[in-house]
Structure 1
Amino acid sequence: MSALTPAAWNGVGVVTVVLLFFLFGVYALIRGWIVFGPAHRDILKAKDDAIAHANGRELEDAKTIASLTNVLTEQRVSGEVSAHILSAIRDVVSSRAGSS
């Protein structure tokens, strides 16, 4: 016998139907199928705050990456200059040692 037939619901009283609807409502609240207005607004506010924080973090990360790139470029140039100066000093020292 199916639960949706009138014969299955023949002996069920009003209190049982009300209790079933109440229990289904509680179950729906627990599962998150039903969300009250204040809770919904809190969830949306938390989501918006997380998005704003992520966007702010993204801007800070971009600034940090730009500054690190500039430092790395300057370090590479200074390293190349240092290597060039050292090779020039070696050339001068070796030419003086060879002429003596």
Structure 2
Amino acid sequence: MSDEMAEVIHLFKDEPQLTAQQKMYSYWEGMFRRRGLTLTDPTTAESVRVAIAVMSHILEGACATNMINEGQRDELRAVMHVGLSAVDELQNLP
């Protein structure tokens, strides 16, 4: 296991009282690790940023065509932005 991955695991595993934000970051990282990827990898992180940007446009279109309302759009956007903050946080590991 790389030193970088050991650091990621340490961030989320050894803390008895994880914050909600840390739990969400751990969840996002776990989704990628199960597929052999990590958000600490710059290429993977950039792919997530692009995907979230695309999803943001999809949400705008869904709202504009009344498939969802603004509140629903905003809730979904907030969840996606947690993913962006997870990517940013994991890219800045010491």
TM-score (norm. length: structure 1): 0.32
User: Which one has the largest radius of gyration?
Assistant: 1
User: Which gives a bigger RCO, structure 1 or 2 (Cα 8 Å, sep 6+)?
Assistant: 2
Higher helix share: 1
